[in-house]
């Protein structure tokens, strides 16, 4: 009789420990969101979007250039990374689906998703910053594109290989050549899934700091010239948060809130799209 | 050759080129980093560089030992703290949590994994580090500070909470959602029939988790932990603020120290010559370590599915 009692007590203790782990883990993470929200909202206002950074100590500075720079860098990275990634992923699941090369590329891009982003930054510095004599926006966009590329390759590959072969065969039977089958049938069927991948990749790119540090760097002046340093929200956070000036720290919180909100919105939208598609 | 056939071949070549470029980029990263590290490796020698204690700007002697130690220790502490918490959370999500809430909790964990690391870093600097400095460090110091030999390792020697311990805990918080979601997926892969058989024999939930679920998912969870380790090794922004980037011998867990990523982030833009090459060599070490961890981890995670 004591045996079963002891086992029940052990069970209650273990389940209690598991539940408190969940409470601590989730609690900590919600605390982070709460702190970002609280500090970020207090620095939110019209000036945050309309003004450029003020000199240290002066009030009323904003992050206009960092917002625009961040959008510019992310958009340029997607403009390069998405088409290349979709084409590469298509090769892996269509033309090259039985080739050994495709298996290797597929495994390599899976690993490439997790290359430490600071290593990517150092690589781009060596090929696009050092030879051209200075930090520039193109280098930043290239670093983000390298981060985005394997994500798009992997999603495209898995989404297009989920399209049933009978659909392709129906199109072949009508006499369509393979490239038209891919563009008209495969891509069309997989478009929703690929779009979700693009949203998630955009979220990843928008939150990266380390690869921009050595490439597009930062600039306090309003400049959208991609040949020069381009400001970004994340590098601004990195530099301002550790500064001794209260107005800069407040700007950093505002930027942190904006980045977090953007990343979460992109992720939630992506996941909702997946849900909707599965619901059909 | 018809026009369609030619267009198809052209399209095929285009997709093939894109696919090969992915391979080219990864090989290119390795090649360029290797090339940039060459001067430092040649100047110091591989063994002397990896085992070198100095990081001295005036004498221009650079060694990887301290950043390596910092990375290994901070990753180790982060895993020690994060793995039990994450596994507990995963058990809660798969065994205790009401079915209706599982989806919502699971989605919340996955969203938290997507929060950029700079946000974790900033939170560590403004919230976690001051908290540890005020409450945890003095308590640990007075409890363990008197222990012979290792006591001084737990004594706070500089204020502000900027130290190796804070950096490790920020890392831990950052990898919790990651390990939790991998462990949850692994637990869910365990066939219900096995769990039901265990319950039918009279086992409690805990006994089922400990003897049936964990046996079935051990390699996948182990793989997930190793992947998380790779992530923690290569993480930059979460540690860059709170580690302090100090090149000195590791005298206390509560002293500022340095890691591979923090020394790269802090010094890269001002470095030149042999120092820059040394930083590239550190990046090379990181690239290889991460690749190995990922290779092993992925093999373990996938092993069960085949």
Mean pLDDT of B234-248: 89
What would the pLDDT profile of A101-133 be if each residue is shown by its tens digit?
A: 999 999 999 999 999 999 999 999 999 999 998
For A13, nearest residue in chain B (alpha carbons)? B206
Size of interface A-B (CB pairs under 8 A): 265
Up-side HSE of residue A280: CA atoms within 13 Å toward CB?
A: 6
SS (H, E, C) chain A: CHHHHHHHHHHHHHHHHHHHHHHHHHHHHHHHHHHHHHHHHHCCCHHHHHCCCCCCCCCCCCCHHHHHHHHHHHHHHHHHHHHHHHHHHHHHHCCCCCCHHHHHHHHHHHHHCCCCHHHHHHHHHHHHHCCCCCCCHHHHHHHHHHHHHHHHHHHHHHHHHCCCHHHHHHHHHCCCCHHHHHHHHHHHHHHHHHHHHHHHHHHHHHCCCHHHHCCCCCCCCCCCCCCCCCCCHHHHHHHHHCCCCHHHHHHHHHHHHHHHHHHHHHHHHHHHHHHHHHHC
Residue B56: what are its φ and ψ, rounded to 5°? -120, 115
Up-side HSE of residue A236: CA atoms within 13 Å toward CB?
A: 36
Interchain pair B85, A180: CB under 8 A = no
What would the pLDDT profile of B261-274 be if each residue is shown by its tens digit?
A: 999 999 999 898 99
Instruction: Write down the pLDDT at residue A96.
Output: 93
Instruction: Write down the pLDDT at residue B150.
Output: 81
Of A125, A130, A186, A135, nearest to A161 by C-alpha is A186
The torsion of the CA quartet A120, A147, B301, A192, rounded to 10 degrees, works out to 180
For B283, nearest residue in chain A (alpha carbons)? A119
Interchain pair A15, B95: CB under 8 A = yes
What would the pLDDT profile of B198-220 be if each residue is shown by its tens digit?
A: 999 999 999 999 999 999 999 99
Rounded to whole angstroms, what are the CA distances from B78 to A30, B84, B162, B164, B202? 19, 11, 16, 11, 37
For B279, nearest residue in chain A (alpha carbons)? A122
**Which residues of chain A have a CB within 8 Å of the CB of B240?**
238
Q: Which residue has the tokens 């601004």?
A: A236
Contacts of B213 (CB under 8 A, 6+ apart): B94, B187, B190, B195
Chain B closest-CA separation from residue A78 CA (Å): 15
Could you give the angle at the alpha carbon of A81 between the alpha carbons of A79 and A83, nearest 5°?
75
Both tokens assigned to B44: 């110091």
Of B126, B134, B154, nearest to B242 by C-alpha is B126
pLDDT in tens, chain A (280 residues): 578 899 999 999 999 999 999 999 889 989 999 999 999 988 887 788 888 877 776 777 888 889 999 999 999 999 999 999 999 999 999 999 999 999 999 999 999 999 999 999 999 999 999 999 889 999 999 999 999 999 999 999 999 999 999 999 999 999 999 999 999 999 999 999 999 999 999 999 999 999 999 999 887 777 778 888 999 999 999 999 988 888 889 999 999 999 999 999 999 999 888 888 776 5
Q: Residue B305 pLDDT > 70, yes or no?
A: no
Contacts of A156 (CB under 8 A, 6+ apart): A85, A86, A88, A89, A90, A92, A93, A190, A194, A197
Measured CA to CA, the distance from residue A237 to residue A4 in angstroms comes to 57
Interface-testing mutation among A25, A31, A96, A229, with chain B (most B C-beta atoms within 10 A)? A25
Interchain pair A91, B18: CB under 8 A = yes
Please state the domain extents for chain B: 3-303
Q: Is A9 on the interface with B (CB under 8 A)?
A: no
Are the C-beta atoms of A228 and A136 separated by less than 8 Å? yes
Q: Is B230 on the interface with A (CB under 8 A)?
A: yes
Measured CA to CA, the distance from residue B24 to residue B114 in angstroms comes to 28
Q: Is A35 on the interface with B (CB under 8 A)?
A: yes
Are the C-beta atoms of A126 and B49 separated by less than 8 Å? no
Q: Is B14 on the interface with A (CB under 8 A)?
A: yes
CA B103 to chain centre: 26
Measured CA to CA, the distance from residue B136 to residue B43 in angstroms comes to 44
Both tokens assigned to B5: 């056939």
Measured CA to CA, the distance from residue A109 to residue A231 in angstroms comes to 29
Instruction: Write down the pLDDT at residue B306.
Output: 44
Question: Which CATH number does the domain A48-279 belong to among 3.30.465.10, 1.10.3720.10, 3.40.1390.10, 3.90.850.10?
Answer: 1.10.3720.10
Homologous superfamily of domain range B3-303: MetI-like (1.10.3720.10)
Are the C-beta atoms of A152 and A197 separated by less than 8 Å? yes
For A215, nearest residue in chain B (alpha carbons)? B269
CA-based radius of gyration for chain A:
24
Are the C-beta atoms of A131 and A144 separated by less than 8 Å? no
Each residue of B141-155: b (16+ CB within 10 Å) or e? beeebeeeeeebebb
Up-side HSE of residue A11: CA atoms within 13 Å toward CB?
A: 18
What would the pLDDT profile of B143-191 be if each residue is shown by its tens digit?
A: 888 888 788 888 887 778 899 999 999 999 999 999 999 999 999 999 9
With a pLDDT cut of 70, the percent of chain B lying above it is 98
pLDDT confidence band for B118 (50 / 70 / 90): very high
The ipTM (two decimal places) reads 0.93
Measured CA to CA, the distance from residue A240 to residue B115 in angstroms comes to 19
Q: Is A272 on the interface with B (CB under 8 A)?
A: no
Are the C-beta atoms of A207 and A266 separated by less than 8 Å? no
B301: how many CB neighbours lie within 10 A of its CB? 20
Both tokens assigned to A113: 């998703």
């Amino acid at each position: 009789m004591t045996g079963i009692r002891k086992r029940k007590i052990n069970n209650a203790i273990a389940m209690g420990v598991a539940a408190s782990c969940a409470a601590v883990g989730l609690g900590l993470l919600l605390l982070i969101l709460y702190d970002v929200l609280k500090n970020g909202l207090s620095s939110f206002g019209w000036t945050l979007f309309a003004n450029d950074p003020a000199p240290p100590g002066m009030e009323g500075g904003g992050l206009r250039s960092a917002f625009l720079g961040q959008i510019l860098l992310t958009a340029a990275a997607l403009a390069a990374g998405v088409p290349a990634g979709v084409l590469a992923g298509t090769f892996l699941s269509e033309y090259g689906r039985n080739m050994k090369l495709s298996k290797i590329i597929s495994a390599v891009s899976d690993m490439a998703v997790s290359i430490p982003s600071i290593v990517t930054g150092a690589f781009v510095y060596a090929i696009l910053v050092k030879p051209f004599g200075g930090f520039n926006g193109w280098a930043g966009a290239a670093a983000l594109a390298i981060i985005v590329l394997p994500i798009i390759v992997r999603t495209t590959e898995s989404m297009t290989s989920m399209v049933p072969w009978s659909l392709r065969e129906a199109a072949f039977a009508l006499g369509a050549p393979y490239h038209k089958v891919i563009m008209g049938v495969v891509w069309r069927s997989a478009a929703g899934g690929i779009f979700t991948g693009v949203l998630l990749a955009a979220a990843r790119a928008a939150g990266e700091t380390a690869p921009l540090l050595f490439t597009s760097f930062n600039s306090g002046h309003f400049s959208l010239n991609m040949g020069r340093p381009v400001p970004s929200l994340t590098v601004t956070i990195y530099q301002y948060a550790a500064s001794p000036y209260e107005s800069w720290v407040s700007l950093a919180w505002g930027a942190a809130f904006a980045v977090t909100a953007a990343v979460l919105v992109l992720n939630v939208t992506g996941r909702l799209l997946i849900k909707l598609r599965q619901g059909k | 050759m018809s026009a369609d056939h030619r267009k198809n071949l052209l399209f095929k070549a285009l997709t093939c080129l894109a696919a090969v470029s992915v391979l080219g980029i990864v090989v290119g990263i390795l090649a360029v980093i290797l090339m940039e590290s060459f001067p430092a490796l040649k100047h110091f020698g591989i063994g002397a560089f990896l085992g070198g204690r100095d990081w001295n700007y005036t004498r221009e002697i650079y060694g990887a030992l301290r950043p390596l130690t910092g990375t290994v220790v901070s990753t180790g502490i982060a895993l020690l703290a994060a793995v039990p918490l994450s596994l507990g959370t995963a058990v809660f999500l798969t065994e205790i949590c009401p079915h209706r809430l599982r989806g919502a909790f699971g989605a919340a964990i996955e969203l938290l994994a997507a929060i950029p690391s700079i946000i974790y870093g900033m939170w560590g600097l403004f919230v976690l580090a001051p908290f540890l400095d005020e409450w945890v460090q003095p308590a640990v110091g007075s409890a363990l500070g008197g222990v012979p030999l290792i006591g001084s390792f737990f004594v706070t020697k500089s204020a502000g909470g900027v130290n190796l311990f804070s950096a490790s805990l920020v890392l831990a918080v950052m990898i919790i959602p990651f390990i939790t979601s991998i462990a949850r997926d692994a637990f869910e892969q365990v066939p219900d029939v096995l769990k039901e058989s265990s319950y039918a024999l009279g086992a409690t939930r805990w006994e089922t988790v400990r003897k049936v679920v964990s046996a079935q998912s051990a390699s996948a969870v182990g793989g997930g932990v190793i992947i998380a380790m790779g992530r923690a090794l290569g993480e930059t922004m979460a540690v860059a603020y709170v580690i302090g980037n100090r090149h000195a011998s590791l005298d206390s867990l509560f002293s500022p120290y340095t890691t591979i990523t923090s020394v790269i982030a802090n010094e890269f833009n001002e470095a030149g010559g042999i120092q820059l090459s040394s930083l590239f060599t550190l990046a090379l070490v990181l690239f290889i370590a991460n690749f190995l961890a990922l290779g092993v981890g992925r093999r373990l995670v996938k092993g069960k599915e085949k």
